[in-house]
Every structure is written in C-alpha cells, then in structure tokens.
Structure 1
Amino acid sequence: MGLQFTVLASGSTGNATIIDNGEKMFMVDAGLSVKKLEELMQERGVSGHHLEGLFVTHEHSDHIKGLGAFARKHNLTVYANEATWGAMERHVGKIEPEKRVVMETGETLTFGSLEVQSYPISHDAAEPVGYTFTHNGQKLALATDLGYMSDKVKKHIIDSDVLVLESNHDTEMLRMGRYPWNIKRRILSDVGHLSNVAAGEALCELLTDRTKRVYLAHLSLDHNMMDLAMLTVNTILENNGIFFKKDEFPLRPTYHDRPTPWDEVKRK
C-alpha cells in the first residue's frame, strides 16, 4: 500500500487528519472531542488503537481540543516543538514523559519507510508548523493556518504529490461579516489565515507536473463557502494560463463535520 490519508475534519470548529503508509498510522492535530474524533475515525474504518502517535501543528483549541484525553485513552506518543508544548501543556493535561516527544521545527523523524518533517509557518501561535509526509517517493504536505505563503513554506511544499492547503475566507465576506474589527484584522494579517485569493495565487507557483490533487482546507463557516473557494481558486489559475480537463480537475473539498474519502497520494 502507498501513502494514504483522510482529513477527518477541517475548519475553525476542529481539525484532524490521519496519514497511513501501511506500516504506521498517525494523526495530525486533535481539535475535536474524543467522542467526535472516534466517530469520524469509525466512518473511515479505523480506531485509536491503530495509531502510532499524534503530531501537533500549534496550540489553538481547534487543533488540540481533544488531544490530551485522546492521547491518554489510546496511549499515544505526542510530537510537538518545545514552544508548542509550553503553550498547550495546561490545556491538554498530563502526558507521561515517555509519551512526550520534542520535535523541533525543521526536524525530520523517520518511522520505517515514512519520513515526517515539520516546517515553520506564520500564525499567531507560539511556534506553529506544517508537516510533510514522504513514503517511497510519495509526498503529502499539510499547509493550513498560514498568515501568508512565504518563500520558505513554498520550498517545503512545492514538490508534493498531494497538497492540503488553507483557503480560509473570502475577503469581502469577512470584511462585511459580524466579527469585531480586531478579529477581522487578525485574520487578515500576516499571522492570520490564507484567503481564497491568496490560496489561488500561491497555487500558481506551487502546481507542477507532479501535483495530483489539492484539497482546500480550514474554510471559515461564517466567511466562506466551498463552491466559492473552488471558483475563486480555479478562476485565478485560469487567468494565469493554468487549465485542467474536467476529469483531471485537481481541487478537492474538505469538510468541518465529516471526513474526506481515503485518498492514496499517487493515485490519479
């Protein structure tokens, strides 16, 4: 079996993704209740005892809500950098020392044929990261909670077969929305979230012959819609001369309340 994954949930109400290479299975983030995480996993035919460990991107609640209880229940090793450990420790409760692993930003860990590397991102958290997963030449990149698409992030994710990329908000919907201005300013800032337009512009540089699919992720329930995100991104791609046949269209949705189908990274 090749490298496969399912995005269990993605958005401001909670985030979790499972990656499996046939030898090891990991979760990235656990931003939902234990009950909800287990329900979503059951929909994809797996449970907590299948997991080897759990990687953390940053300490915001929509990424760690169920982390402590879920890790303790299933005896999981948790991987995060030192700053994230410090920021989330009081929220996740006690993690036994042997299950608490410091994975510094930029470090690569190897689990058999699976390599996991973290890379720095711009977000208003202690030391937020994204992750890439590589197995026998297949590469999956997770890139959400990006204030902006930096050159450093591009270097880490440009050569991915499949990319899970933030397309958080429509800027005009956000500006006209009900949030107070200080929150809007934070979302629009370089340590906030990537807009539909910013995602589309980034993909103009990121899409290569190697890219099979792109999943649009971490959409705002209040200030975005998946159809709008896909239309905006695709329009920007076409305006930059990037066209796809209907059966080769690379954009795929994620959901805040249900998992994506299992997807093998190399499969067309």
Structure 2
Amino acid sequence: MIRFSVLASGSTGNAIYVETEETAVLIDAGVSGKQITNALAEIGADAKKISALLVTHEHSDHVRGVGVMSRKQDLDVYATSGTWEGMEKYVGDINVEKQHTFTVGESLCFGDLKIEPFPISHDAREPVGFCFYQGETKLALATDLGYVSTRVRDAIAGADAFIFESNHDVEMLRIGPHPWTVKKRILGDKGHLSNETAGDTLTEVLSGNSQDVYLAHLSPDNNMPEIAEITVRGILTENGFNVGQDVVLHDTYRDKPTPMQTIKRM
C-alpha cells in the first residue's frame, strides 16, 4: 500500500508526500517550509515520519524549501550529482552528513518503500523522475520533461497511479504573453509537456485497471485545469478508455494539497 498527496504543483512551487506503513518521503520542496508544514498538517501527515527528501532537479520551483526542510526536520537529502551542483545557491548550508548522491539505475530503499529514478529530458543538469514501489504497488512521477522517451515510457508503464505533467495548451501558449524565447523553450525537447502529449502518452502507459492520474505542473498562464482535463479525457476516450472507471483524472493545485490517496495492487 502507498499513500500520497501532491502538496503543491506548478511553476510557483512543487512538493509531493509519499508514505507507506513503515516510512515516508518528501519529493521536492519548491515552496516555503511553512507551506509544506501546513499542507502536511492539512492531510493529517506527521512530518516526523519523513525519512528523506528526494529532489528531481535544481530549478527553484523544486528546491526553494529544501534547505529549510532539511535543517528544521533534520532530513537527509538525496539528489543526482548534477542536481547538487545546480541547487547549491538555493538551499544554503546543509549538513554534509545529510547530503546523499544517487545515480540513475540505482534503487533507493527506505523501510518497505523502494524508489527507482529514471532520466528525463529537461533544461536542468541531471533531472529525474521517480517510480515508487511497495510490494506490487507502483506510483509513477514524471513532470518537467520536454518529451517522453522510450526509457521514461517503459519506466512508468503499468503504474497504479501517475503524477504526470500536463503543463500547457499549445494554442494558449502560442498566443500568450511570454516572449518567443520562452515559448520556444517550453515547446522544446527540454521544456514541458502539452496536454495533448500527456494524453497521448497516457494511452500508452495505462493498463485500464482503475488507475488514478494526477495532472500536474499546469501553467497558470498557458493552461487551465478544465482545459487540461477535457483534452486528456478526450484523447483517452478516443482510445477506448472509460474515464471515470478505467482511469480517474485528478486536479493538482498551486496553493493547497490534494487529499491523501491510497493505492494498493490487488
């Protein structure tokens, strides 16, 4: 059994809580320590249960609160060597004994929770996504990626739940306020996934057995939750999925946590 909550999601900050009966971890801390602590209290999670903080990449909306959380909660922090190099200027002093480096292909184990990182394509030094396992139960996390490689697709396929990027509506982005250089970055292979790409990918990795999908990292300028859901729902429906039965779509939020979700492979 795995329980999780997306504490915050979007360009203003990201954090995810994952727990099993034995342990808990925090993925990213891109909002203030106070917001994370308040979100944990809102979902009924005990911050003292958290045994580690894992970082996907060094952008400020993922690491802004890493140093504070490590110091205040005495947390061990795990990141790739590239991410450590990139986030030093954001996190302040972290006890060297609390700094841990992992590599892609290495499994991390905390109690009964196994975590497997996989490489993603983003404009960061060494970014990763994660798959979480407890027994046969699997949760997949993939955000901040410009395209979905075969390796990503293979890593996340068949999960019981997905936290998956649905960053922008392409037309909203094209006519939106950002300069072309920013639009080009977002649309590029090291940028972010569109709603359409999210939907297309999900048709390939879902098995159709009552899986939950959390649409994450939505742009506040180039997307809306209802547009993301309508687009993804339409693509899934066109490909034979019964949305609401085979798969359930969930919103994520910039300023509040999602309700704690429990998944268990039967």
Same-fold status (TM-score > 0.5):
yes
Post-superposition CA distance 1:24-77 (Å, at most 9, x none): 110000000111111111111224322111000000010001111111111000
Q: Conserved in 1, the CA contact under 8 Å of 2:57 and 2:127?
A: yes
1:94 aligns with 2:97: no
* 1:2-81 → structure 2 map (5 Å cutoff): 2-81=1-80
Q: Conserved in 2, the CA contact under 8 Å of 1:10 and 1:255?
A: yes
* 1:1-268 → structure 2 map (5 Å cutoff): 2-210=1-209, 212-244=211-243, 246=244, 249-266=247-264
Cα shift at 1:247:
5.1
RMSD of Structure 2 on Structure 1 (CA) = 1.4
> Aligned partner of 1:142: which letter?
L
Residues of 2 paired with 1:248 and 1:258: CA distance? 27
Residues of 1 paired with 2:206 and 2:265: CA distance? 17
Change (3 A) 1:211 1:192: farther
Q: Greater CA deviation, 201-210 or 18-27?
A: 201-210
Residues of 2 paired with 1:193 and 1:206: CA distance? 18
> Aligned partner of 1:109: which letter?
L
Residues of 2 paired with 1:232 and 1:133: CA distance? 27
Residues of 2 paired with 1:34 and 1:156: CA distance? 31
Residues of 2 paired with 1:66 and 1:155: CA distance? 31
Cα shift at 1:133:
0.6
> Aligned partner of 1:66: which letter?
G
TM-score by length of 1: 0.95
Residues of 1 paired with 2:71 and 2:58: CA distance? 17
Residues of 2 paired with 1:242 and 1:6: CA distance? 25
Residues of 2 paired with 1:163 and 1:89: CA distance? 29
> Aligned partner of 1:95: which letter?
I
Sequence identity of aligned pairs in percent? 48
Q: Conserved in 1, the CA contact under 8 Å of 2:166 and 2:216?
A: yes
Residues of 2 paired with 1:210 and 1:237: CA distance? 13
Q: Conserved in 1, the CA contact under 8 Å of 2:136 and 2:265?
A: no
Residues of 2 paired with 1:261 and 1:206: CA distance? 24
Q: Secondary structure at the match of 2:30?
A: coil
> Aligned partner of 1:261: which letter?
P
Residues of 2 paired with 1:11 and 1:94: CA distance? 26
Q: Secondary structure at the match of 1:214?
A: strand
Q: Secondary structure at the match of 2:193?
A: coil
Residues of 2 paired with 1:145 and 1:249: CA distance? 22
Listed as ranges, the gaps of 5+ residues in structure 1 are none
Residues of 2 paired with 1:67 and 1:131: CA distance? 18
Cα shift at 1:209:
3.7
TM-score by length of 2: 0.96
Which stretches of structure 1, 4 residues or longer, exceed 6 Å deviation after superposition? Answer: none
Q: Secondary structure at the match of 2:202?
A: helix
Aligned length: 266
